[in-house]
Amino acid sequence: MKPELASALERLGWVEVADADERPRNVPSEASGTERDATVALRVGQNVFRSQLLQARRGCDVSGCRNTEVLSASHIVPWSRSNPKERVDISNGLLLIPNLDRLFDRRLISFQDSGQILICPKLDLAARKALGLTGEEKLQSVAPRMRRFLARHRRAFRQGGWGTPARRARFSR
């Protein structure tokens, strides 16, 4: 799909372009040394998922931040590991501020069924302080249907990632 079309569909809210880590690598273009042709993977339904999360939660599930421009709709069980129904189920989602979203996606934090944060030992005290993590962070609420997704996330968190060792290495950059 042409990048211009993908961009237009994303602006309309029909699709969301996948994160760079999940996109195929750019292919060099013969047109110029400063341009590349790219294959773009689209996540159909991602914007609907985000809109439903914003309507249901109204702010970051941990900090309470209500600035929708910075909030990320994060899948608890990643899109790539979810079936089509789970991909749009808001019980498989959290609204998070950018630093928490990134830590959660990289499985450097997770959450207990009580909502209490779990922090990976790879994050030393200096990193925790720089990221604003006190260890007291907690999800504001945990719906019963969310617990099965959190359990799957915790398993990946404790095992060091999703899937094969090569895939885990890709997420530890």
pLDDT digits (tens, 9 = 90+) for 115-124: 999 999 999 9
Mean pLDDT across 16-39: 57
How many CB atoms sit inside 10 A of residue 73's CB? 21
Instruction: Report residue 129's pLDDT band, with 50, 70 and 90 as the boundaries.
Output: very high
- pTM over the 0.85 mark: no
- Do 102 and 120 contact (CB within 8 A), yes or no? no
Does 156 reside within a domain? yes
Does 108 reside within a domain? yes
Does 166 reside within a domain? yes
- Do 49 and 88 contact (CB within 8 A), yes or no? yes
- Structural domain harbouring 77: 59-171
Write the Ramachandran bin of 58: left for phi over 0, alpha for psi from -120 to 50, otherwise beta: left
Does 158 reside within a domain? yes
Confidence (pLDDT) at 165: 47
Does 139 reside within a domain? yes
Does 138 reside within a domain? yes
Instruction: Report residue 48's pLDDT band, with 50, 70 and 90 as the boundaries.
Output: confident
Does 117 reside within a domain? yes
Instruction: Report residue 11's pLDDT band, with 50, 70 and 90 as the boundaries.
Output: low
Average pLDDT, rounded, for the chain: 82
Share above pLDDT 70 across residues of the chain, in percent, rounded to a whole number: 71
Instruction: Report residue 130's pLDDT band, with 50, 70 and 90 as the boundaries.
Output: very high
- Do 89 and 95 contact (CB within 8 A), yes or no? no
How many CB atoms sit inside 10 A of residue 61's CB? 25
Indicate whether 62 pLDDT > 60. Answer: yes
Q: What is the C-alpha separation between 43 and 37, in angstroms, rounded? A: 19
Does 100 reside within a domain? yes
Indicate whether 110 pLDDT > 60. Answer: yes
Cα separations (Å) of 75 from 4, 46, 106?
Answer: 26, 10, 12
φ/ψ of residue 126, rounded to 5: -65, -45
Q: How many domains does the chain have?
A: 1
